[in-house]
A = this chain, B = another copy of it.
Amino acid sequence: MTQSDPQTRHQRLRPLQIRRARKEDREAIWQIFRAVVAGGDTYVFDPNISRRKALAYWLGPKTRCYVALSDQGIVGSYILKANQPGLGSHVANAGFMVSPSARGRGIGRAMAEHCLREARRLSFRAMQFNFVVATNRTALRLWENLGFKIVGKLPGAFRHSRRGFVDVYVMYRRLKPAV
């Protein structure tokens, strides 16, 4: 990166901090969740989902929730959990949301790298994304860049708010155990 890279400048101003979510983060998480799903173009949730349902999902009892803080406050959140119970619980699943006002600054990537480290630390052997909307090029590029492969394609499985039925990818990568 060069000195003129905006991301570098931003990170020099105040590096992104990523930590486990706390009770007092709920309102900030909800605002990000609401803004992200409102588009109906990346996440499967009803764009008009209630605060209660959104937080029940994002802060579920078997889900670890993290937030990313910049000088703007909470600018992103991610969740990490087992993708399946019992005999499938060695595969992790994760979800990421960045505040629309903070996009393009590498916050999604920073959270994803943090998430992969956490998943290794928690002894997950792989990570799976069940529902990557094929038109979500930003996410696809990021996941491929981080070593995920498309391992499945679900024809027309997402009802995009503007494009109608579009395909969905299942993405997967193995994780080497932490040393």
Contacts and interface: CB of A to CB of B under 8 A. Distances in A.
Interface of A: 40, 43-47, 49, 83-88, 90-91, 125-126, 128, 130-131, 151-161, 165, 168, 170, 172, 174
10 contacts: A45-B86, A46-B85, A83-B157, A84-B131, A84-B157, A88-B157, A126-B155, A151-B152, A151-B153, A151-B154
The complex is assembled from copies of this chain, and their number is: 2
A140 to B, nearest CB: 15
Contacts of A126: 155-157
Nearest to A150: B152
Point out which of A40, A44, A88 has the most chain B C-beta atoms below 10 A from its C-beta. A88
A115 to B, nearest CB: 18
A176 to B, nearest CB: 13
B87 A154 contact: no
Contact of A154 (B43, B47, B91, B155): B91
